[in-house]
Structure 1
Amino acid sequence: MAPADVAGALFFGLLYPANPALSLTVVVTTAITLAVVAWGALRQRQQDLVALYEDRAARIEREREQRAEQIQMAERARIARDMHDSGAHYTH
């Protein structure tokens, strides 16, 4: 839509080159179009970054949970070995 506005303003600027109001219209329409396009690109980039950070946070949380499980399993194995070793001393 905005590029069509700019094209229309340029077209009428070419049809009526002596009209200073049309020149101003072309400049303002172009400026507004560029601002809207830039704002849209900025919003898209922001949304992309938010999605990236959410994915990264989820991955870090999964890795943290995996490490916690590994630590817990290692501690259980250590306790089991200690209990086995303690029990072995009493049977001899």
Structure 2
Amino acid sequence: MAFYLLKLLVIVPLIALLAWGCLKLAQRMQGRIGAGPAARSVRVVETVMLSSGLKLAVIAFHGREILVSVSRSGLTRLAEAPLRIETEPPE
């Protein structure tokens, strides 16, 4: 019985650590699979949560910024504007 508990105390944390490592590796590799970020034509610029079921998102697409509302029922386009030139914040 003691040997069984000892094995259990060693194997369960080992399996948990292995699962955590696999998730972190998948997260790091997700951006590298398929087309790189430079080849993407759609990019989420910013999101703001308004309530538990409603979010606003700014999406950059072919030189335009599109403001959409995201809810459980779907997406609704609210506004569209020319793409802003993004500059690095001063350090």
Which of the five TM-score ranges fits, normalised by the shorter chain?
0.3 to 0.5
More strand by share: 2
TM-score (norm 2): 0.39
Larger Rg: 1
More helix by share: 1
The higher-RCO structure (CA 8 Å, 6+ apart) is 1
